[in-house]
Amino acid sequence: EAGVAQSPRYKIIEKRQSVAFWCNPISGHATLYWYQQILGQGPKLLIQFQNNGVVDDSQLPKDRFSAERLKGVDSTLKIQPAKLEDSAVYLCASSQRVGGGPNEQYFGPGTRLTVT
Amino acid sequence: AQSVTQPDIHITVSEGASLELRCNYSYGATPYLFWYVQSPGQGLQLLLKYFSGDTLVQGIKGFEAEFKRSQSSFNLRKPSVHWSDAAEYFCAVGPNAGNNRKLIWGLGTSLAVNP
């Protein structure tokens, strides 16, 4: 079974530029998560999709961050314009269940973003 | 408030020694509990999970964890550490119902292994 795929693995941009990250979850997983992980911290949930609908985006800085999952499969996360404090690893995860029961999340390798 | 505390920011052990990483949580009801490991430059890998039943759970790579309801703890253990276990370890808790499966994460414990 293929894992969660993410690209690119690394990205360096200047502040005020835009950037996009792509994620392809494990086949059949209904729920997709985007996390931001700043060095030395635990992951912070940015947005959670269930199929192609948003379940939770309460911590997404909506003035600059956007995400979509149009067909309920892969997803893109965009930052426009980037700030220095956006430098972090962006992790994508997926889980199988929609409702009821345990729901472990499986993570991709992440995209390391450096904003200069 | 819901929270996860990993009291040890950094731990160093010798190869072959035993290991215990602490995790305490504050949650309204009995949550689902997870331990993840993150090697340098990698994503997070699920080590083990507790949902119900036997409070001692076995995971991958020889790890185990024990859920103690009275202490609100879910400590991770390994009897003999290998150099390849050097990594960041995260404890997380999540709800056992509902569609919003947001996990509450600890800040992590960095494990170094001396040869």
Give the type of residue at A84: L
The whole-number pLDDT of residue A88 equals 96
Question: Minimal Cα distance from A4: which residue of B?
Answer: B43
Give the type of residue at B15: E
Q: Does B94 lie at the interface with A, CB-CB under 8 angstroms?
A: yes
Using a pLDDT cut of 70, give the percent of chain A over it.
94
- Strand partners for A106: A94
Which of the four pLDDT bands, split at 50, 70 and 90, describes residue A97?
Answer: low
Report how far residue B63's alpha carbon sits from residue B49's, in angstroms, rounded to the nearest whole number: 11
Report how far residue B99's alpha carbon sits from residue A8's, in angstroms, rounded to the nearest whole number: 30
Distance from CA of A64 to the nearest CA of B (A): 22
Question: Distances from the Cα of A42 to the Cαs of A38, B13, B43, in angstroms?
Answer: 7, 22, 12
Express each pLDDT in B43-85 by its tens digit.
Answer: 899 999 998 888 999 999 999 999 999 999 999 999 999 999 9
Cis status of the peptide bond prior to A8, with omega within 30 of 0: yes
With beta carbons under 8 A apart, name residues in chain A contacting B101. 31, 48, 95, 103, 105
**Cβ contact A56–B105 (<8 Å):** no
Best residue of A33, A44, A48, A107 to probe chain B, by most B CBs closer than 10 Å:
A107
Express each pLDDT in A24-44 by its tens digit.
Answer: 999 989 899 999 999 888 899
The vertex-A23 CA angle with A22 and A28, nearest 5°, equals 150
Lookup result for tokens 């990698």 = B42
Chain A, window 85-104: residues with a beta carbon less than 8 angstroms from a chain B beta carbon: 91, 93, 95, 98-100, 102-104
Chain B, window 27-56: residues with a beta carbon less than 8 angstroms from a chain A beta carbon: 32, 34, 36, 41-46, 49, 51
Distance from CA of B81 to the nearest CA of A (A): 23
In this prediction, residues A69-82 reach a mean pLDDT of 93
Question: Hey, how many other C-beta atoms are within 10 angstroms of the C-beta on B98?
Answer: 12
3-state secondary structure A23-36: EECCCCCCEEEEEE
**Cβ contact B46–A105 (<8 Å):** yes
Using a pLDDT cut of 90, give the percent of chain B over it.
74
Instruction: Please give the interface size between A and B, counted as residue pairs whose CB atoms are below 8 Å apart.
Output: 60
The whole-number pLDDT of residue B89 equals 97
Q: With a cut of 70, say whether residue A113 has pLDDT above it.
A: yes
Q: Which of A41, A50, A107 sits opposite B107 (nearest CB)?
A: A41
Which of the four pLDDT bands, split at 50, 70 and 90, describes residue A67?
Answer: very high
Q: Does A107 lie at the interface with B, CB-CB under 8 angstroms?
A: yes
The whole-number pLDDT of residue A72 equals 83
For residue B79, the SS3 value is coil
Q: What is the mean pLDDT of chain B?
A: 91
